[in-house]
Chains A and B, each alone.
Chain A
Amino acid sequence: MTSAGPPNAAASSAGEPLLPVIETTPGHDLLRGVWRENPVLVQLLGLCPALAVTNTVANSLAMGLATFFVLLGSSVLVSSLKRLIPAEVRIAAYILIIATFVTIADMVLAALVPATHKALGAFIALIVVNCMILGRQEAFASKRPVGRAILDAVGTGVGFLIAMVMMGSIRELLGNGSWLGVPVFGQSFEPWIIMILPPGGFFTLGFILLGFGWWEGRKQKRRPGRRPWPHSVVERPEGRVA
């Protein structure tokens, strides 16, 4: 399990941190993941659940909350145990911690909301391999105090929840004419069935990303000297500016 990912993975064998630690303020830790570095919409992490279970708002909410719980739980545990986990097996240790919380979330959902649990199916278990969660452990929780790790997990989790509900709302509104099961458009609306089917997930996220690209380009054009968010871990592609 050496899937460390980043190009400087060789440094990890010497026990050095993979990514440089950058000093940030608590507010920045909390707010970064919510919008400016939103895990789904900007960093494109955790796409599997974001596309697979967002066909209704209820499913998106359940998935977002379950992921939020797993992220928060594992960030707290990884951050508290960071001195005990040897660098060589840290990825394996993180995955075991994440898998434990996913098993808890799976059982809790099965007991509280059996219908939603059935609708989400295998995708609850697949939270384990959501790269967003492992990414936050590796990049943040494993080298920061517990308090900061909680702030970061809350911010990233809320960002994920926002993206999920956004996707779910678009798909349910257009595909079923309702929001959270409540009809919105009335009788005359002909639902776009394609939006609640698999291709609708790809199209929704595709058009959201195109919209974001257009918005960024407009902002850059208006204020050419605008600096990106301080210490951004996201590289913005140059070609985006129209």
Chain B
Amino acid sequence: MSDLFWIFISAMLVNNFTLHLFLGLCPFMGVSARVETALRMGAANVFVMVITALSAWVLNTFVLTDAPYLRLISFIVVIASLVQIVEMAIKKLSPTLFRELGIFLPLITTNCAILGLAIFQTNRGYGFLEGMAFALGAGAGLTLALVLMASIRERSELSEVPALARGMGLVLIIAGSLSMAFMGFAGLLSQ
């Protein structure tokens, strides 16, 4: 049990996907202008990550044992099509949920955070439960980073930033400071 907990904490805070491993930077830069959008993007990410962890585990355990070189191609195909199918199901079953998350799903199916999750899970040899804890932790970490970034950007819109620094340069430097703050969590694991 404590193992699962540490996998969760490690993926969420210590090895945060966005701020420590640089995965999923496109949504991090692209949809972090509003806190509300950032939260929904994060939720959609958690959802896709759980599906990814599940399908990667099934593929690794039952299908790809003899052909590891087909891993990359099959991960992409299976994850992308599964997310499409689930998206259609949600559209049918719960239109409200679809309106909340729907537009983000196709955008993040082939995101590097998603594929990275599947690859890390494979390289570290996680089982089913460990994979789930990893996916939930990574998703929570991504959501946390997105919401923090969006909050800072909402504030920085009201302050007088020099014209030169408006735009991506400033966002990257804010991200660097956040990443430095998250380095403090590294002490959690060494104890």
Contact = CB atoms under 8 A, between A and B. Distances in A.
Interface of A: 1-3, 44, 47-48, 51-52, 92, 95-96, 99-100, 102-103, 106-107, 121-122, 125-126, 128-131, 194, 197-203, 205-207, 209-210, 213-214, 217, 237, 239-242
Contact of B169 (A51, A197, A209): A209
A47 B183 contact: no
A96 B116 CA distance: 17
A3 B112 contact: no
A217 B169 CA distance: 14
Interface of B is mostly: helix
A100 B72 CA distance: 8
Contact of B106 (A1, A122, A209): A1
16 contacts: A1-B81, A44-B168, A99-B73, A99-B76, A122-B119, A130-B112, A197-B183, A198-B22, A198-B179, A201-B22, A202-B173, A202-B176, A206-B173, A207-B173, A209-B167, A210-B169
Given A202-B176, A210-B164, 18 more contacts: A1-B106, A2-B84, A48-B24, A95-B80, A122-B116, A126-B23, A126-B115, A128-B115, A131-B26, A203-B173, A206-B168, A206-B170, A206-B176, A210-B165, A213-B167, A213-B169, A214-B164, A242-B162
Contacts of B26: 47, 131
Contacts of A242: 162-164
A205 B120 CA distance: 26
Nearest to B161: A239
Interface string B66-101: 000100110011001100100000000000000000
B187 to A, nearest CB: 14
B122 to A, nearest CB: 9
B177 A199 contact: yes
Q: Which of B120, B172, B177 has the most CB of A within 10 A?
A: B172
A44 B77 CA distance: 26
Contacts of B173: 202-203, 206-207, 210
Contacts of A131: 26
Interface of B: 19-26, 29, 69, 72-73, 76-77, 80-81, 84, 106-107, 109-112, 115-116, 119-120, 123, 162-173, 175-177, 179-180, 183
A48 B116 CA distance: 11
Nearest to B80: A1
B55 to A, nearest CB: 14
Contacts of A92: 77, 80
A100 B73 CA distance: 7
Contacts of A48: 22-25, 112
Contacts of B120: 122
B22 A47 contact: yes
Contact of B180 (A1, A199, A205): A199
Contacts of B176: 199-203, 206
A125 B112 CA distance: 10
A130 to B, nearest CB: 8
Nearest to A130: B112
Contacts of A201: 22, 176
